Structure 1
Amino acid sequence: MKYIKADSVLPIALVEELQSYIQGGYIYVPSRKDSKKKWGELSGCRYEIEQRNRKIRKDYQQGKSVDELADIYYLSVHSIRKIIYEK
């Protein structure tokens, strides 16, 4: 997390109001709930896992066994079953 000087981004009146509560300290301003990203959205990891899971379901529908899929994707049999039966 990068620190930003309040007086460089906030109106002076707001900075003065904040100074009546805290001076020279740190304040964390959380993101709005509607603007938060889900896990893995920024890095692209979520997309990659979704793609992998689609491929696993497709392979299963085409006849590969759960044990084969576990070996191919380096996942446990339990994880493969969760992926296959989700949705």
Structure 2
Amino acid sequence: MSYKKVTDLLPEDLLELIQKYVEGECIYIPIKNENKKKWGTNTGTKKVIKDRDVNIYIKIFYLA
């Protein structure tokens, strides 16, 4: 996650509205549910763990 300068992103009237609620603080704006990706999609971690688990299963049940 990187920081962005709000004055480069939002119109001035929206910034003023936000400043009524929070000023001089860092806030996090979450991703909408419909835009979320499943865990491990970007990094490939999910596949790595799945492959590891399959190898463990094979060693336990077929090579024991």
Is TM > 0.5 for Structure 1 vs Structure 2? Answer: yes
Aligned to 1:43: 43
Corresponding residue pairs, total:
58
Following superposition, the deviation at residue 48 of structure 1 comes to: 4.4
Whichever of the two has the greater Rg, that structure is 1
Aligned to 2:33: 33
Following superposition, the deviation at residue 16 of structure 1 comes to: 0.8
TM-score between both structures, scaled by the size of structure 1: 0.54
Q: Does residue 9 in structure 1 map to residue 32 in structure 2?
A: no
- Residue by residue, what CA displacement relative to the aligned partner does 1:39-83 show, whole Å, maximum 9, x if unpaired? 110012224455x38xx5xxxxxxxxx6xx22xxxxxx4xx7xxx
Query: Which blocks of at least 5 consecutive residues in structure 2 are unaligned?
Result: none
Identity %: 34
Aligned to 1:23: 23
In structure 2, how many angstroms separate the alpha carbons of the residues matched to 1:49 and 1:26? 34
In structure 2, how many angstroms separate the alpha carbons of the residues matched to 1:36 and 1:7? 26
Higher helix share: 1
Identify which of structures 1 and 2 has the higher relative contact order when contacts are C-alpha pairs closer than 8 Å and 6+ apart.
Answer: 1
Greater than 3 Å deviation, 4+ residue runs: 47-50
